[in-house]
Structure 1
Amino acid sequence: MTITYKGGEQRVLVPPTAQIVTMQFGAVSDIKPGVGVFVNAAVDGGKTAAGLVIVGTQGAVPPI
């Protein structure tokens, strides 16, 4: 695959075993026991707030 960016381009080898993922909006009901998640959260005044939750689907675990 060739990635083009300001100032150049780079060829990158993507192996056939690489998981290709997309991001889309979901619902709280997508979070279920046993599903892989990534949570980006911050603590402020003793309270924790999640700014971003990525939920894996179809057996995929968020690659972060």
Structure 2
Amino acid sequence: MNRGLSSGQIWLRPLIYNLLSLIGLVSALLSDSWGDWLAWLTLTLPLWVIVYCWWGKSDG
């Protein structure tokens, strides 16, 4: 009997993406040079995930 995904499996990825976004926002506020690069990388990660899920998977 398959019970599906547990709540931990459902919420793990969104939690990781939100934590990375928070790290990016804080680094953008508190740091120059390397913090700007870290912010850029962490804040564009959700966009890349959206692009991958939207266009990266084939229907067939």
The TM-score, its normalising length taken from structure 2, stands at 0.22
- Find the structure with the greater CA-based Rg: 1
Compare the two structures and name the one with the higher strand fraction. Answer: 1
- TM-score, normalisation: structure 1: 0.21
